[in-house]
C-alpha cells in the first residue's frame, strides 16, 4: 500500500469540514474556510485539541514545502513526522466517526 500524504490531508480536510457543519448554522461558511482555518475551527469546537491542531498545521506546512524543497534535509524532516502523522490519522478517523455517529 502506498502512503499518499497529500491525499490523506485532502480527505481529512473534507471530513473535518463535514464534521464542523454540525457546529455551525452556516454550512456555506464552513465550505469557504481554507484548510488551516478548518483546523483552527476544529480546535475551537473541540473536535481537535490545541496540540493536535498544531501538529496538523505542521503536517500541512510540510506538505506545502514539498513544492519548494526536495533535499535530504527536507526528506529527513518529513520522515521524522510520519510516525506521529500516522497515529494522528488513525485517531482522527476515530474522532470523526464519533462526531458523525453523534449527529446521526
Task: Note whether 88 and 52 are within 8 A (CB).
Answer: yes
CB of 16 closer than 8 Å to CB of 47: yes
Give the pLDDT confidence of 4-19 residue by residue, as tens digits: 777 888 888 899 999 9
Instruction: Tell me the pLDDT tens digit for each residue of 26-62.
Output: 889 999 999 999 999 999 999 999 999 999 999 888 8
What's the fold here for domain 5-103? 1.20.120
For the entire predicted model, the pTM comes to 0.81
CA distance 89 to 94: 9
Amino acid at each position: 500500500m502506498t502512503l499518499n500524504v497529500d491525499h490523506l490531508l485532502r480527505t481529512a480536510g473534507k471530513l473535518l469540514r463535514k464534521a464542523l457543519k454540525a457546529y455551525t448554522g452556516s454550512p456555506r461558511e464552513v465550505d469557504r474556510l481554507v484548510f488551516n482555518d478548518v483546523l483552527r475551527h476544529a480546535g475551537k469546537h473541540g473536535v481537535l485539541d490545541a496540540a493536535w491542531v498544531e501538529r496538523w498545521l505542521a503536517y500541512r506546512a510540510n506538505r506545502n514545502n514539498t513544492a519548494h524543497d526536495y533535499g535530504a534535509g527536507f526528506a529527513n524532516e518529513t520522515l521524522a513526522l510520519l510516525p506521529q502523522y500516522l497515529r494522528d490519522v488513525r485517531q482522527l478517523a476515530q474522532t470523526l466517526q464519533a462526531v458523525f455517529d453523534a449527529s446521526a
